[in-house]
Amino acid sequence: MTAHRTSQSQRTARPAGRIERALAAPTPLPLSPPDKHERHWPHRLGEIITAFAGKRILVIGDMIADDYIIGAATRMSREAPIPVITQRERFTVPGGAMNPAVNARALGAEVHVLGLIGDDETGRRLRQRLSELGIHHDLLFTEAQRPTCTKMRVLAGNSQGTVQHIARVDTIDNTPPESATIQRALRGIEQTVAEMDAVIFSDYDNGFMILPIIEYALHHTTRHGCMSVADAHGRLSRYHGVTAVTPNQSEAEAEAGIPIRDHGSLQRAGQHLLANTSARGALITRGGDGMSLFLHDGTSFDIPVYPSEVRDTIGAGDTVTATFALGLAAGASMADAATIANVAAGLVVRRLGCATTTPDELHHAVAGLEATW
């Protein structure tokens, strides 16, 4: 990994523990084969991945059902200039905040989710799927008049096997939760965070992530020395005091009010994110340009994209957030956690839909980093 380092005076250190270890100044990771000081880098990353097993993760956020209709485009409609799709398959998978939860579970973590779904057939299917995956969902709440938020995607293939997204239909209720639900959520946070190694905030701006829930959860993560990572589609400043934030480039630009055009504007945006959230790290995902990590001491790192044949980028940001949080929970530096997260994202974009990867796949991929980078 290339490193653009800018030395600044050290800020006041937090109490010793997992967070302090994550903030320790990491050794820049090389693009070329490691020198003698970095010869054991892939082994170190492998040890971190092994340590994912059994880490306890709480995901708080907007729960969404991802509904897929997959078929074949047989002809053009006579009613409008659109293709007619012959449906071949339809299924529902956990989406929204449940996607980082599924990713963390696939990597070996013990995962709990806290959020709001509907008391409807879609919500029941989601609970069943979470149970099948071994994800704890006793903190998934329902409200009588609220439907489960759903994103329906229509995909169609051709005779060459190419699949394209044709349309997406969203059913989103973004009204805030009822007062009784808020109180149940606060009690759940108080009872659960102390037992967690990391908390992930997955904020799709769909209504559940109101300030009282965010602030109460961050209060308890700080109190118990628990890692916290926020992936929010907007208003990141509400996550003041979080350990790290993981916006994509467009979200970072919107939050900072800075169009990212070059290295200088990227640096300014990264530093703005840190200042605006008081986070210890900001990991900006940048699509084909890889990722950029900014630390509170002024150090920054550019991580090149992991070589991969991209089939579908849906959910890759959630994979990054889950893997990065797991790395921090396992005691990794932010640079090492970000590197592993970058590799994980490169693996899942090879698959259709919100995909996951496994520890075995990650072990194999990081072992070959010297050859691919």
Q: Count how many Cα atoms sit within 13 Å of the Cα of residue 228 in the half-sphere of its side chain.
A: 28
Model pLDDT, residue 28: 37
Q: Where are the domains of the chain?
A: 16-64+95-146+176-372
Q: pLDDT by residue (tens digit) across 174-205?
A: 999 999 999 999 999 999 999 999 999 999 99
Tokens 């209709």 correspond to 69
Kindly report, residue by residue over 216-230, the tens digit of the pLDDT. 999 999 999 999 999
Active site residues: 318
Q: How confident is the model at residue 65 (pLDDT cuts 50, 70, 90)?
A: very high
- For the residues 337-343, what does the mean pLDDT come to? 94
SS3 279: coil
Three-class secondary structure of residue 69 per DSSP: strand
Residue 168, CA distances (Å) to 45, 69, 148, 154, 356 in order: 38, 10, 16, 6, 22
The overall average pLDDT reported for the chain is 86
pLDDT tens digits, one per residue of 249-271: 999 999 999 999 999 999 999 99
- Structure confidence at residue 1 (pLDDT): 40
CB atoms within 10 A of CB 317: 20
pLDDT digits (tens, 9 = 90+) for 276-308: 999 999 999 998 888 999 999 999 999 988 765
Q: Where are the beta strands (DSSP E) in 110-162?
A: 110-118, 136-143, 150-157
The superfamily CATH assigns to domain 16-64+95-146+176-372 is Ribokinase (3.40.1190.20)
215 pLDDT exceeds 90? yes
Q: Which residues of 18-29 are buried (b: 16+ CB within 10 A; e: fewer)?
A: bbeebbeebbeb
pTM, entire model: 0.85
Q: In this predicted structure, what is the pLDDT of residue 27?
A: 38
In the predicted structure, residue 336 carries a pLDDT above the cut 90 = yes
Q: In this structure, are residues 1 and 304 in contact, taking their beta carbons and an 8 Å threshold?
A: yes
Q: Are 98 and 63 in contact (CB under 8 A)?
A: yes
pLDDT of 29 reads: 37
In whole angstroms, give the CA distance from residue 278 to residue 10: 14
- Cα dist. 268→298, 305, 323 in Å? 11, 21, 26
